[in-house]
Amino acid sequence: MLEGWLAWHRQTLLGKCAGLTAEQLKQAAVEPSNLTLLGLLRHMTAVERSWFRIRAAGQDLPDPYNDDTNIDGDFDDVPTADAEANYAAHLAELKVATADVAALPLDHEFTLEGRGTFSLRWVYLHMIEEYARHNGHADLIRERLDGTTGS
């Protein structure tokens, strides 16, 4: 069920981005927020990598958009971003993140210093929540861009 709900929410975000131009994906359409659909897609790429691959699977990987000097690059660097490349990177990250934890049991645990111990089950629940929240944002942005509503 966890994999199914996460897959549904992943697809919902992709659906909110479908059929739009690069410029539309980069447009902040719900003032005064600077959120864009491309920023949400980039953010979720980084979050997928962080929770599944870096934390749960224990891989040593860089954040794709953020670093110590630019902690919000996923959102802030959208105007100069390559929307097509970022979309492809998101799809690739979904595939790899899913594969990299496929053999781990849901009770697999890892510890984050100062934050506690987490299980893969918790990560799935957190990711479902993260997508659900951002899919609400995406729904509003998409409606403002072209009037499209619904899942």
Contact 94, 47 (CB under 8 A): no
Secondary structure letter of residue 128 according to DSSP: H
107 has a pLDDT exceeding 70: yes
The span from the CA of 92 to the CA of 76, in Å, is: 22
How far is CA 48 from each of CA 53, 143, 150, rounded to the nearest angstrom?
7, 25, 24
Q: What is the mean pLDDT of residues 85-98?
A: 98
**Cis ω for the linkage preceding 105 (within 30 of 0):** no
Domain annotation covers residue 97 = yes
Q: What is the mean pLDDT of residues 91-97?
A: 98
The span from the CA of 54 to the CA of 10, in Å, is: 19
What's the pLDDT tens digit per position in 3-59? 999 999 999 999 999 999 999 999 999 999 999 999 999 999 999 999 999 999 999
The span from the CA of 27 to the CA of 45, in Å, is: 19
* pLDDT for the residue numbered 90: 98
Task: Tell the residue number behind the tokens 């997508």, with chain if given.
Answer: 131
Helical segments of 49-82, H only: 73-76
* pLDDT for the residue numbered 151: 67
Read off the CATH number of the domain in which 126 is found.
1.20.120.450
Domain annotation covers residue 86 = yes
Residue 85 is encoded by which pair of tokens?
Answer: 């490349």
Domain annotation covers residue 151 = no
What's the pLDDT tens digit per position in 57-80? 999 999 999 999 999 999 999 999
Model pTM score:
0.96
- Helix and strand numbers, DSSP H then E, in the chain: 6, 2
Contact 28, 35 (CB under 8 A): yes
Domain annotation covers residue 20 = yes
Domain annotation covers residue 113 = yes
**Total count of domains within the chain:** 1
What's the pLDDT tens digit per position in 113-126? 999 999 999 999 99
Domain annotation covers residue 90 = yes
- The candidate with the shortest Cα–Cα distance to 135, out of 5, 24, 2, 1, is 5
Domain annotation covers residue 140 = yes
How far is CA 73 from each of CA 3, 53, 96, rounded to the nearest angstrom?
28, 20, 22
Domain annotation covers residue 82 = yes
For residue 32, the enclosing domain spans 2-146
